[in-house]
Amino acid sequence: MTDQPLAGQLALVTGASRGIGAATAMALAAKGAHVVLTARTAKALEAVEQAIFDAGGSATIAPLDLTQTDSIAKLATAIGERWQALDVMVLNAGMLGSLAPVNAIEPKEFAAVLTLNVSAQVALISAFDAMLRKSAAGKVIGITSSVGATPRAYWGAYGASKAAFDTLIGAYGDETADISKLRTAIIDPGATRTAMRAKAYPGEDPASVKPPERVAARVVALAVEGFGPGHRERVD
């Protein structure tokens, strides 16, 4: 591992046990960052951590349920006791929920989608804000979906959660742009080979869409190169 522009930096990736999150964590580690991996499944996180170790990188796993906001605060405290600054935070964890017409959205499931896709993201930003501002160039990169910007039939619940997510990330970026080095970006991964995509499109040939590594490569490029206020892009 000779090309390490992120050496000495700390990154946090949510939903890092598989898909885009796992690929991003491994790519960040390959560029020299120490990566904190979070997801609910410890065994899957351990597999990603081992892959990072095998490639010569460094990582720490932190299994937790992001819907339990107390666990986010405890994670921030633990990380803050070991490191002073957080350089990159990739907000990737999310829940699809059931695809259904708006008049048939099940309230309890909708509440669960909003809790993970919106409330937990607010809690993460709040918990790590101080560490992000201590970075020489803190970056928050949120993984979104096109349905957050363009409504689509049967995607109302998930789309609404992503619209709220996008607004929160954008607002946070506006609030910090003139008073800190912190920058925020929103990345729409487009059609990508993930478990969520397979659930939404069960008849689709996985080989017909791009692998998560392509999205991860773009996220890491942004982490290395930086970006201006209000950055948003789609990975095709």
Q: Is residue 4 part of a domain?
A: no
User: CA 190 → CA 74, 75, 126, 214, distances in Å?
Assistant: 33, 30, 28, 11
Q: Please identify which of the residues 154, 158, 172, 201 carries the catalytic annotation.
A: 158
Q: Is residue 101 part of a domain?
A: yes
Look up the CATH number of the domain holding residue 64.
3.40.50.720
pLDDT digits (tens, 9 = 90+) for 218-230: 999 999 999 999 9
Q: Is 158 a catalytic residue?
A: yes
Residue 133 neighbours by CB under 8 Å, 6+ apart: 176, 180, 182
Q: Is residue 64 part of a domain?
A: yes
Q: Is residue 228 part of a domain?
A: yes
pTM: 0.97
pLDDT digits (tens, 9 = 90+) for 77-112: 999 999 999 999 999 999 999 999 999 999 999 999
| Distance of alpha carbon 199 from alpha carbon 119, whole angstroms | 23
pLDDT value at 76 more than 90: yes
Q: Is residue 81 part of a domain?
A: yes
Confidence band for 1, pLDDT divided at 50, 70 and 90: very low
**Dihedral sign computed on CA atoms, order 103, 105, 107, 110:** negative
Total domains in the chain come to 1
Q: Is residue 84 part of a domain?
A: yes
Answer for the pair 14, 165: CB distance below 8 angstroms, yes or no. Answer: no
Q: Is residue 113 part of a domain?
A: yes
Q: Is residue 62 part of a domain?
A: yes
pLDDT value at 126 more than 80: yes
**Of 18, 25, 59, 2, residue with least CA distance to 223:** 25
3-state helix, strand and coil shares in percent for the chain, rounded to the nearest 5: 50, 15, 35
Domain enclosing residue 203, as ranges: 10-234
Residue 129 CA to its chain's centroid (Å): 15
User: CA 59 → CA 1, 33, 42, 119, 141, distances in Å?
Assistant: 15, 8, 14, 26, 19
pLDDT digits (tens, 9 = 90+) for 147-201: 999 999 999 999 999 999 999 999 999 999 999 999 999 999 999 999 999 999 9
| Distance of alpha carbon 124 from alpha carbon 223, whole angstroms | 18
